[in-house]
Chains A and B, each alone.
Chain A
Amino acid sequence: MTGPGVAWYLGVAAFLFATGSLGVLLRRNPLIVLLSLEIMLNGANLALIGFSRNFGNGDGQIFALAVMAVAASEVVVGLGLIVALNRKRVTLDVDRLNRLRG
């Protein structure tokens, strides 16, 4: 394998996951929380594909594609919730969204 070894890719994946978790913990806008969640999922995907290449086995790529489909579903439901909250004139701030009762 030419170029950097898999350990470098795993380092990038770990940093991506930590950055995404920082965004989830720090930000209050639910849209940016969803975007940070996408970064976390992509960090996990990069680690899966790196290990798939390291072992010469395609199962990791299948898992990454399944994660991608689940991420797309999660975005549909999350954005639907955000639009619903916006139509009910609720403030979009995850610190204040502490009641589920409409």
Chain B
Amino acid sequence: MLVATAGNVLVWAVWMVAAFACLASAVAVVSFSNPFYSALALIGNLGSLAVLYLLLSSEFVAAAQVLVYAGAVMVMFLFVIAYIGPRSESPWAGGPSWQAVGAVLAAAALLVEIIVAIGLKAGGRLAHSPDVHGSFGSPAYIGRLFLTDHLLAFEITSIVLLVAAIGGVILGAHSRRLPEELPHP
């Protein structure tokens, strides 16, 4: 019993740190004026989200989060930010404009709406979660689900990635033709 309580306290402590880091870095992404700092804050956000996924016993999704997001996507973001060059833009400067006030009000309304909808639809079922078996969320479990029940989703995901790769190549090829670079007839 004592061991269980100590484990509970430890899980709560890890959850507190991860959730606070997650929320603080999300606010930092939105409010930093330099996009480079915003991208670095988003890396912290993704890492703390991976910790939350681990606490929800989904190991494979946490690993994929770190590999895909913090590894691949953020490197691409940082490369493009370095390519374009720093452009600072301070979101809160010059007093509260009607756009900023409207954006804050819309986001707050969205937050209230999500919480009310979840509380109405699922409030009674959130109190106790079932104990899951040890392999829940392991790579073998996810792989079996992907290749049996969700084979169609797996195949469609591969097509989506192929189309995105082709789109990226086409965008890159077209953007190279500036008017002064075109061959004159």
- A-side residues, CB < 8 A to B, are 1-12, 14-23, 25-29, 31-32, 34-36, 38-39, 42, 45-47, 49-56, 58-59, 61-62, 64-66, 68-77, 79-84, 86-88, 92
Contact = CB atoms under 8 A, between A and B. Distances in A.
Given A22-B103, A62-B142, A65-B142, A38 B73 contact: yes
B17 interface: no
Contacts of B103: 22, 25-26
A74 B165 CA distance: 10
Given A15-B111, A87-B178, A88-B178, A71 B73 contact: yes
Interface of B: 4, 7-8, 11-12, 14-15, 19, 22-23, 26-27, 29-30, 35, 38-39, 42, 45-46, 49, 52-53, 55-58, 60-61, 64-65, 68-69, 72-73, 76-77, 80-81, 83-84, 87, 89, 91, 99-100, 102-104, 106-108, 110-111, 114-115, 118, 122, 125-132, 136-137, 141-142, 145-146, 149-150, 153, 157, 160-161, 163-165, 167-168, 171-172, 174-176, 178
Q: Is the interface of A mostly helix, strand, loop or mixed?
A: helix
Contact of B30 (A34, A36, A45): A36
A20 B45 CA distance: 12
Contacts of A9: 52, 56
